[in-house]
């Protein structure tokens, strides 16, 4: 989703015009996954596939969050550990650990997540913008948030995640 | 906004391909003749014909503005063709035609980008006015020379070149009065658009005829004539250059011609019309077999001959392009969608991987398999032939890209007012099609940089250095040991390390103390993002993007770029690009849980070390003595920071590798064996890290699906 769409959705919620603010449309789908207790999401159009954890070939001279490369149906794909990318402590991989293959601008990257949760609709009512405070380490990778009940899901900015020099 | 006519979409690709190749051809002719500073009559005819073909096909596709533009350019060249001496200001004509060619490319790009519907129609009225003025000026010149002819051209009654040609020809319409032949042509039933087919037929035979008239005369612009042609046939009266038979043959082999009859011949009076029935099957199905199909109107039959495969269509297009190239020789070429070749290339890569999987299958270990081995050898031979063939299919010469650079140099020369000679070497070097495509932008940047920053602004600066007043820009290409090396060099001012350093300091892109930078490193600083030393931003360069984009583009296709410059003597950019689908014979070695592939061509020997051979120098660097020669030892696990249990030199294996007269002993855990591997570049995501600089050139997928890293011996040792 573009930032404009998000802004518009947020603006609509705050709008005094009742007709606008009751218009709860579905803007897209996200795939959600767990990192620790937190639920993150990635818009579905960036997700190519989900594969289970497998042997990763290490590549020298890269930052520690790049775990290496794997062979996904004859394509060589680099793998990033999201925990370590976000500066969280790494935990041992379990049977629930998954690799989500993302593609963006012809760039393919796999991310390691604790476990995959669900695929759900994005309702324009649930969207809220991230706080301006950028001091939180992971904040820069969050494009917007989705509130549903008490849960808050952080939706990752794939462009930043893959392009960012970090 | 204009819309593409429905029903024409299917022909768009063909149109783009054809028009683009014609425009490239036009550029080439212009550049060549401009250098020689004269048009010869062949070139003029050629340009005329290119414009004519573009006009026809654009009109057919409904691109009105393009067709009008080509028409006007054609008009101008018509005047020139009739009287080549009229050109007084050659460069003016060149500029004009280049502008036409550029406008064309721009408009076609616009259309190409909006295939699914609307496109923006560019306004060529200014250019058309210029062309009209130029034509009028030329006609004025002609008038001074041969008033009669000029009148025929200038008289508003004959604005069309064809009509003008008729007007200029001695007026003798009486059939069979002299050596004229009249033919009545009938087209296939229901082939539609008979008037356009008639027009294309006229184009086909035009070159073979000295004089040519046809009835109805306004077939090109008047669709109403189609019906007339169906009813009465299309009447062509001509005087051939060589023989009547040749023209008749061309008519016979033209597309959609059902039959023709000779109404009158020069010798006999209108005797019994000899009617020639053509075989009923459409000629379109066998374009290759048709003798000299010349400008066979390839797109037209596509609609009506669904049986015709796309390959054949493409073939027709290629033949048409060749006919346009003036080459009468017939070559059997087809144009193929690159995506299909990519798929083929991928499959071959997989076949080779799979072949290794089968032949070196662990299940076969320890078995005596004589006939299996024989068959395996045969298979390997065939797959390697297959691989060579696929590679050669994808190879195209660099000449096209180089030619475009020629064009850029020409334009910049004028704009910057610098006198520069453009030299090409090795433009026939063949590289993979995908590399050619991705090289175009980087080369353009480099050539622009050389022209803008490299070559001195004032001639005095050059002469003061003792250099010839005329600058030289050289573009070379060569194949060297599995790599293509392309250089762009100028003999200009060179790179001033002082200036670079100052700038780098200001930009804050230095990563170590200044004193530690070597001259080479300083020069290569200009390849970093955000670096541009030109004080002012010009039309051509100096925006501070550019060199880093060049670097990124080159790296994208697995290559590398370095700068070599000497202040006052010039600058050379050296681009090295590996040939794609590189399949190398590799030796697999393990270090910890990683597998590396060392190219066998660089391995001299492998052996177990004995403690007596190992020496240490004062800095505790390990060395090994083999047959009286001392070689340094490179521990792979240290170099790549890998955990392994084998750290004792006597437990592992040593590989003596050698490149460029440098040798080193690589220390690894153990040898696995020899395997043919397909080199794959590292994923683009990893490009920002310096993996390549540390001795790894790529990776490969092995028979069991695991990944092995390929050692680049050159950088590993260097």
Contact B92, B134 (CB under 8 A): yes
Is A69 in the B-facing interface, judged by CB distances under 8 Å? yes
Range B372-383 average pLDDT:
90
Could you write out the three-class secondary structure of B402-459? Answer: HHHHHHHHHHHHHHHCCCEEEEEECCCCEEEHHHHHHHHHHHHHHHHHHHHHHCCCCH
Of A57, A61, A165, the CB nearest to B690: A61
Question: Quick check: A60 and B706 CB within 8 A?
Answer: no
Listed range (B128-132, B210-214, B382-386, B541-545) with the worst mean pLDDT: B541-545
Range A14-41 average pLDDT:
78
Band (pLDDT 50/70/90 cuts) for residue A77 is: very high
pLDDT(B203) > 60: yes
Secondary structure E strands in B122-273: 181-187, 209-215, 234-240, 257-264
pLDDT(A132) > 70: no
Supply the mean pLDDT for chain B. Answer: 74
H helix count then E strand count, chain B: 22, 25
The alpha carbon of B164 is separated from its chain's Cα centroid by a whole number of angstroms, namely: 38
Listed range (A58-67, B172-181, B212-221) with the worst mean pLDDT: B172-181
pLDDT(B693) > 70: yes
Query: Has this prediction a pTM greater than 0.95?
Result: no
pLDDT(B387) > 50: yes
pLDDT(B517) > 60: yes
Question: Quick check: B642 and A60 CB within 8 A?
Answer: yes
Percent of chain A at pLDDT exceeding 90 = 21
Residue B576: its pLDDT value, please? 84
Residue A100: its pLDDT value, please? 94
Band (pLDDT 50/70/90 cuts) for residue B110 is: confident
The topology under which CATH files domain B398-578 is: Heat Shock Protein 90 (3.30.565)
CATH top-level class of B338-396: mainly alpha
> Residues of B with CB below 8 A from A108's CB?
683, 685
In tens, the pLDDT along B36-64 reads 766 677 777 788 788 888 887 887 777 77
| Interface of chain B toward chain A, CB-CB under 8 angstroms | 346, 349-350, 353, 593-595, 639-642, 680, 682-686, 688-691, 694, 696, 699, 701, 705-709
Q: Nearest CA to CA, how far is B683 from chain A (Å)? A: 6
Contact B24, B70 (CB under 8 A): no
Between vectors from CA A22 to CA A19 and to CA A23, what angle results, nearest 5°? 85
- Tokens representing B40 are 């010869």
Q: Please count the residues of chain B.
A: 718
Percent composition of chain B: helix, strand, coil (DSSP 3-state, to 5)? 45, 20, 30
- The residue in chain A having the minimum alpha-carbon distance to the alpha carbon of residue B354 is A74
Listed range (A73-77, A128-132, B23-27, B544-548) with the worst mean pLDDT: B544-548
Highest mean pLDDT (candidates B512-521, B557-566, B636-645, B684-693): B636-645
Range B615-628 average pLDDT:
85
**Higher per-residue pLDDT: B212 or B223:** B212
Q: Nearest CA to CA, how far is B344 from chain A (Å)? A: 14
Within 36-65 of A, beta carbons closer than 8 Å to B belong to: 55, 57-63
Residue B552: its pLDDT value, please? 76
Question: Quick check: A109 and B683 CB within 8 A?
Answer: yes
The b/e string for A70-109 (b: 16+ C-beta within 10 A; e otherwise) is bbbeeebbbbbbbbbbbeeeeeeeeeebbbbbbbbeebbb
Q: Nearest CA to CA, how far is B695 from chain A (Å)? A: 10
In tens, the pLDDT along B121-162 reads 777 777 777 777 777 777 666 554 444 443 444 444 334 444
Q: Nearest CA to CA, how far is A76 from chain B (Å)? A: 6
Contact B586, B597 (CB under 8 A): yes
Range B468-483 average pLDDT:
82
In tens, the pLDDT along B281-325 reads 444 444 444 344 444 444 444 344 444 445 555 555 555 554 444
Question: Quick check: A76 and B682 CB within 8 A?
Answer: yes
Question: Which residues have a Cβ under 8 Å from the Cβ of B35 and sit 6 or more positions away?
Answer: none
Secondary structure E strands in B481-621: 483-490, 560-566, 570-578, 583-591, 594-599, 603-607, 614-616
Architecture of domain B2-165: Up-down Bundle (1.20)
Which is nearest to B581 in space by CA: B434, B445, B419? B434
Q: Domains of chain B: which residue ranges?
A: 2-165, 171-266+300-307, 338-396, 398-578, 583-717
In tens, the pLDDT along B416-447 reads 888 888 888 888 888 877 778 788 888 888 88
**Higher per-residue pLDDT: B157 or B518:** B518
Q: What is the DSSP string of B87-118?
A: -S-HHHHHHHHHHHHHHHHHHHHHHHHTTTSE
Residue B565: its pLDDT value, please? 84
Within 94-113 of A, beta carbons closer than 8 Å to B belong to: 106-109
Largest CA distance in chain A: 57
> Residues of A with CB below 8 A from B346's CB?
74
> Residues of A with CB below 8 A from B686's CB?
59, 62, 66, 69, 78
Band (pLDDT 50/70/90 cuts) for residue B79 is: confident
Long-range contacts of B327-333, Cβ-Cβ distance < 8 Å, separation of 24 or more: B328/B292, B330/B288, B330/B292, B332/B288
Question: Quick check: B683 and A78 CB within 8 A?
Answer: yes
Backbone phi and psi for residue B374, each to the nearest 5 degrees, phi listed first: -65, -45
CB atoms within 10 A of CB B372: 13
Residue B158: its pLDDT value, please? 38
CA distance B337 to B242: 40
DSSP category for residue B280: S
Range A147-151 average pLDDT:
79
Contact B56, B203 (CB under 8 A): yes
> Residues of A with CB below 8 A from B350's CB?
74
- Rounded (10°) angle between helices B125-145 and B147-154: 150
Q: Nearest CA to CA, how far is B231 from chain A (Å)? A: 57
Place of tokens 């070149």: B161
Residue B95: its pLDDT value, please? 79
Highest mean pLDDT (candidates B100-114, B150-164, B169-183, B275-289): B100-114
CA distance B37 to B683: 49
Percent composition of chain A: helix, strand, coil (DSSP 3-state, to 5)? 20, 45, 35
Residue A102: its pLDDT value, please? 92
Which is nearest to B104 in space by CA: B138, B72, B136? B72
Q: Quick check: helix, strand or coil at residue B351?
A: helix
Highest mean pLDDT (candidates B20-24, B277-281, B666-670): B666-670
Highest mean pLDDT (candidates B135-149, B164-178, B630-644): B630-644
Of B594, B684, B689, the CB nearest to A61: B689
Question: Quick check: A63 and B686 CB within 8 A?
Answer: no
pLDDT(B205) > 60: yes
pLDDT(B596) > 90: yes
- The residue in chain A having the minimum alpha-carbon distance to the alpha carbon of residue B690 is A61
Q: Quick check: helix, strand or coil at residue B650?
A: coil
Listed range (A24-33, B204-213, B433-442, B604-613) with the worst mean pLDDT: B204-213
Architecture of domain B171-266+300-307: 2-Layer Sandwich (3.30)
Q: What is the DSSP string of B231-256?
A: HH-EEEEEEESS-HHHHHHHHHHSTT
Highest mean pLDDT (candidates A142-151, B222-231, B365-374): B365-374
- The residue in chain B having the minimum alpha-carbon distance to the alpha carbon of residue A62 is B689
Q: Quick check: helix, strand or coil at residue B589?
A: strand
Architecture of domain B583-717: Beta Barrel (2.40)
Q: What is the DSSP string of B304-336?
A: H-TTS-HHHHHHHHHHHHHHHTT--S-------
Q: Quote the ipTM score.
A: 0.82
Percent of chain B at pLDDT exceeding 90 = 5
Percent of chain B at pLDDT exceeding 70 = 75
């Amino acid at each position: 989703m573009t930032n404009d769409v998000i802004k518009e959705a947020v603006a609509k919620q705050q709008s005094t015009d009742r007709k606008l603010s009751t218009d709860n449309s579905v803007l897209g789908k996200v795939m959600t996954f767990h990192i620790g207790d937190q639920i993150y999401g990635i818009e579905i159009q960036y997700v190519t596939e989900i594969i289970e954890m497998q042997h990763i070939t290490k590549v020298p001279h890269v930052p520690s969050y790049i775990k290496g490369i794997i062979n996904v149906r004859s394509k060589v794909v680099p793998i990033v550990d999201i925990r370590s990318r976000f500066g969280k402590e790494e935990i041992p991989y379990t049977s629930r650990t998954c690799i989500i293959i993302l593609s963006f601008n012809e760039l393919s990257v796999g991310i390691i997540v604790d476990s995959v949760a669900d695929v759900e609709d994005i309702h324009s009512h649930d969207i809220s913008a991230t706080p301006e405070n950028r001091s939180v380490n992971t904040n820069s990778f969050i494009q917007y948030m989705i509130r549903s009940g008490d849960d808050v899901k952080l939706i990752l900015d794939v462009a930043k995640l893959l392009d960012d020099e970090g | 906004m204009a819309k593409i006519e429905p029903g024409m979409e299917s022909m768009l690709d063909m149109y783009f391909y054809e028009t683009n190749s014609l425009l490239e051809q036009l550029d080439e002719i212009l550049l060549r003749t401009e250098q020689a500073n004269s048009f010869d009559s062949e070139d003029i005819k050629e340009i005329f014909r290119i414009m004519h073909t573009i006009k026809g096909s654009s009109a057919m596709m409904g691109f009105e503005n393009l067709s009008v533009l080509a028409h006007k350019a054609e008009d101008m060249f018509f005047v020139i063709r009739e009287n080549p001496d009229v050109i007084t200001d050659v460069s003016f004509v060149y500029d004009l035609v280049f502008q036409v060619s550029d406008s064309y490319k721009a408009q076609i790009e616009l259309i190409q980008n909006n295939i699914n519907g609307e496109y923006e129609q560019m306004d060529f009225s200014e250019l058309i006015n210029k062309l009209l003025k130029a034509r009028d000026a030329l006609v004025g010149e002609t008038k001074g020379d041969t008033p009669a002819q000029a009148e025929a051209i200038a008289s508003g009654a004959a604005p069309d070149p064809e009509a003008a040609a008729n007007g200029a020809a001695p007026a003798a319409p009486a059939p069979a009065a002299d050596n004229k032949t009249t033919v009545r042509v009938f087209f296939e039933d229901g082939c539609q658009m008979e008037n356009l087919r008639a027009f294309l037929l006229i184009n086909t035979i035009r070159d073979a005829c000295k004089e040519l008239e046809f009835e109805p005369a306004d077939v090109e612009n008047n669709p109403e004539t189609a019906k007339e042609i169906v009813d009465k046939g299309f009447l062509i009266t001509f005087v051939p250059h060589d023989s009547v038979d040749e023209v008749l043959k061309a008519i016979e082999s033209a597309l959609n011609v059902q039959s023709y009859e000779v109404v009158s011949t020069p010798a006999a009076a209108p005797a019994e019309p000899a009617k020639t029935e053509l075989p009923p099957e459409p000629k379109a199905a066998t374009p290759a077999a048709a003798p000299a199909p010349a400008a066979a109107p390839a797109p037209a039959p596509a609609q009506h001959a669904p049986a015709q495969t796309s390959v054949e269509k493409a073939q027709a297009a290629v033949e048409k392009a060749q006919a346009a190239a003036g080459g009468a020789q017939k070559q059997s070429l087809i144009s193929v969608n690159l995506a299909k070749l990519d798929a083929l290339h991928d499959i071959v890569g997989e076949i080779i991987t799979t072949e290794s999987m089968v032949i070196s299958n662990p299940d076969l270990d320890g078995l005596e398999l004589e006939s299996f081995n024989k068959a395996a050898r045969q298979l390997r031979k065939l797959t390697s032939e297959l691989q060579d063939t696929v590679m050669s299919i994808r190879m195209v010469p660099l000449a096209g890209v180089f030619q475009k650079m020629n064009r850029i140099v020409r334009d910049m020369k004028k704009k910057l007012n610098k006198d520069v000679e453009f030299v090409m070497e090795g433009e026939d070097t063949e590289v993979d099609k995908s590399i050619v495509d991705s090289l175009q932008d980087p080369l353009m940047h480099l050539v622009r940089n050389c022209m803008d920053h490299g070559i001195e602004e004032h001639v005095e600066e050059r002469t003061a250095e003792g250099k010839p007043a005329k600058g030289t820009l050289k573009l070379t290409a060569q194949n060297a040991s599995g790599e293509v090396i392309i250089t762009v060099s100028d003999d200009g001012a060179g790179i001033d390390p002082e200036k670079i350093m100052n700038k780098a300091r200001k930009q804050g892109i230095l990563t170590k103390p200044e004193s530690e930078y070597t001259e080479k490193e300083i020069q290569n600083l200009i390849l970093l993002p955000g670096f541009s030393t030109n004080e002012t931003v010009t039309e051509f360069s100096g925006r501070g993007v550019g060199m880093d984009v060049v670097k990124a583009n080159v790296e994208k296709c697995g290559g590398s770029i370095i700068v070599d410059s000497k202040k006052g003597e010039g600058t050379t950019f050296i681009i090295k690009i590996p040939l794609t689908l590189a399949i190398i014979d590799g030796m697999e070695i393990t270090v910890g849980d990683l597998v590396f592939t060392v190219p066998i061509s660089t391995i001299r020997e492998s052996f177990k070390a004995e403690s007596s051979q190992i020496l240490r120098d004062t800095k505790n660097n390990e060395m090994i003595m083999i047959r009286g020669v001392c070689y340094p030892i490179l521990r792979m696990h240290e170099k790549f920071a890998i955990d392994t249990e084998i750290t004792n030199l006597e437990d592992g294996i040593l590989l003596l590798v050698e490149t460029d007269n440098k040798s080193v002993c690589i220390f690894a855990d153990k040898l696995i064996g020899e395997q043919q591997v397909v080199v794959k570049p590292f994923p683009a995501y990893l490009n920002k890290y310096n993996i390549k600089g540390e001795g790894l050139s790529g990776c490969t997928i092995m028979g069991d699906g695991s990944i092995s890293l390929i050692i680049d011996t050159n950088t590993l040792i260097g």
